[in-house]
């Protein structure tokens, strides 16, 4: 989301320097992953005047290498917005280059419009997968009727990195509606919605540039999410509601589990009815240089992005 003003320059060398442990994958039998850290983000801030979110990462305590290919996670827990008779809540036109934004909503509705000609509303259960890649301008507001009526908004926005070879790809847009997201029923009434990658042989609709798993799970007490994945893939799980156990640890609502890369499966068991979002993927082992809404591989590419915005190469902003 990130507004265009107040930007800070962050390079991968600025970030916390936790190094991945060397792994000998060939010698290791199928093993359940341990939990490397439980991350809690306590600071909230407004994005524009519409999104009250906590930025779980980038974070000084969560190294970029450990969350790659994800770059940023802004989480907005359910929050009541009063009815508003006129005006908009959200963020006006701003550019992005070099990555994808993925916006998930569980309550409320977010309206999107970009200068590549896409528009849509992200409602409960929907996922919007927007590829900024070579460059896009977009705006993100509460949907108009939702603004007028008021109500609860519960959302998350992720930034997903693109490898160097795809940062210049054409912008894209995947409006993934709740009805298009397949779900796997669990034994006691819970379900796993598959947005990207697969679960129990069911494949999600999102097309991704690199291997990514995104699962949205509603777990009843005692139910578990069992995920097989290559040990080298990074894995995170956000406990949005409830309480969940993994690798001998327990995480509460608002806590993000970071799994160690020490096994090729992970298990998250609900200690009580829980809502868990699993994010996993193959890390992109390239330098990260972020400046506000741009994420590139070098400072020179950031300077080029700024120049391209200023010279109109991102295209005109619609009225």
- Residue ranges that bind Mn ion, judged by CB under 5 A: 1
In whole angstroms, how close is the CB of 274 to Mn ion at the nearest point?
Answer: 29
In whole angstroms, how close is the CB of 291 to Mn ion at the nearest point?
Answer: 14
In whole angstroms, how close is the CB of 298 to Mn ion at the nearest point?
Answer: 22
In the sheet where 289-291 sits, what is the strand order?
A: 9-11, 289-291, 294-296
Nearer to Mn ion, 172 or 222 (CB): 172
Cα gap 305→300, rounded to integer Å: 9
In whole angstroms, how close is the CB of 282 to Mn ion at the nearest point?
Answer: 24
In whole angstroms, how close is the CB of 157 to Mn ion at the nearest point?
Answer: 8
In whole angstroms, how close is the CB of 6 to Mn ion at the nearest point?
Answer: 14
């Amino acid at each position: 989301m990130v507004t265009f003003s107040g930007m800070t320059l962050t390079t991968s060398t600025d970030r916390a320097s936790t190094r991945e442990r060397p792994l000998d994958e060939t010698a290791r039998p199928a093993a359940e992953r341990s939990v490397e850290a439980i991350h809690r983000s306590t600071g909230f801030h407004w994005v524009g005047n519409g999104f009250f979110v906590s930025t779980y990462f980038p974070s000084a305590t969560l190294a970029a290498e450990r969350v790659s290919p994800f770059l940023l996670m802004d989480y907005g827990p359910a929050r009541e917005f009063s009815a508003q008779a006129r005006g908009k809540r959200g963020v006006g036109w701003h550019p992005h280059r070099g990555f994808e934004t993925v916006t998930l909503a569980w309550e409320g509705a977010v309206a999107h419009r970009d200068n590549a000609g896409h528009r849509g509303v992200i409602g409960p259960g929907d996922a919007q997968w927007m590829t900024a890649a070579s460059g896009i301008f977009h705006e993100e507001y509460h949907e108009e009727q939702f603004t007028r009526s008021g109500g609860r908004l519960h959302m998350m926005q992720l930034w997903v990195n693109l490898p160097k070879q795809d940062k210049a790809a054409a912008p894209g847009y995947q409006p993934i509606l709740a009805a298009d997201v397949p779900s796997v029923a669990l034994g006691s009434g819970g379900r796993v919605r598959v947005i990207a990658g697969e679960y129990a042989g069911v494949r999600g609709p999102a097309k991704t540039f690199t291997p990514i798993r995104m699962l949205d799970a509603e777990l009843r007490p005692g139910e578990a999410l069992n995920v097989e994945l290559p040990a080298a893939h990074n894995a995170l799980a956000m406990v949005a509601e409830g309480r969940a156990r993994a690798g001998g640890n327990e995480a509460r609502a608002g806590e993000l589990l970071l799994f160690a890369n020490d096994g090729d499966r992970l298990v998250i068991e609900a200690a009580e009815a829980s809502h868990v979002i699993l994010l996993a993927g193959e890390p992109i082992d390239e330098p990260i240089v972020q400046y506000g809404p741009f994420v590139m591989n070098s400072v020179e590419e950031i300077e080029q992005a700024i120049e391209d915005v200023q010279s109109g190469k991102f295209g005109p902003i619609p009225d």
